[in-house]
Amino acid sequence: MRGRKKEKFIVLDVEGNSTCLPYNIGYIVADNAGNIYQKRSIALPYAVWQNLIGSLESGLCKEMHLKNTKDILTDYENSAKNRKYKCISIESFWILFTSDIQKYNIKKMYAYNVAFDNAALSRLFGARYEMLGLEIRDIMAAVVKTRLLNPSYLEFCDRHGYLSEKGNYKYGAEIVYRYLKGEAYANFEEEHTGLADVMIEYEILLWVLKSGKKQEWSCICAWKKFQQYVEETGYQRWLPF
């Protein structure tokens, strides 16, 4: 008897901010057994220029990762074989993205803080994006509920000072990846390029899937979940003295 084919899904990360067009998108087609079937590292020079123009005119895109945008524009001038990114038009990216969805029969897309990525793709592609009908799943929500609501993670954050200005526990992908990998990764920093960040988010996703706990993928207010956990369990903040 033949084994069932593993369902394939997309894990995606976009670079930009909530007022700009995403200019660097990385994604993989993978499955829950750790197999990766496709990797994409896309740069959109048109979006870079539009964002820079918008920044000059209104200041709305000041927070763009300037290093990445400079890298992309420099990369665009290189010969095709020396490029780090696949520099294409928005329309060409749409064709590539939808072709991968069709080829691999994709039904689900995962991202870390998926609301941000989902909104970015909506800005980029318009109404036709919604017509793809993808099930959108938030890795951040799932990892908080399955792996982070415990004294071990809270003590880890206390020990390293991973707290917001308001004193809330941090839960970004970079911090969670440090916790997942252990003390040797205490100084790990995300590259903040789409594909590189996708690879760490995929590791976090696989960690969630191996948790043995029920996974819920809808977006949550994570800091409130931590606050609620502390109040319900009576957790005492770890102090280094």
Contacts of 41 (CB under 8 A, 6+ apart): 24, 26, 84, 85, 86, 193, 194, 195
CA distance 172 to 74: 29
Whole domain around residue 161: which residue ranges? 140-233
156 in the same domain as 129: no
**Banded pLDDT at 80 (limits 50, 70, 90):** low
Domain boundary among the residues 139, 172, 198 is at 139
pLDDT of 6-63, one tens digit each? 899 999 999 887 778 888 999 999 999 999 999 999 988 888 877 777 666 555 555 4
pLDDT top residue among 237 and 66: 237
DSSP per-residue letters across 70-82: HHHHHHHHS-GGG
pLDDT top residue among 149 and 64: 149
Give the global pTM. Answer: 0.87
81: domain CATH number?
Answer: 3.30.420.10
160 in the same domain as 120: no
Q: DSSP 3-state assignment of 203?
A: helix
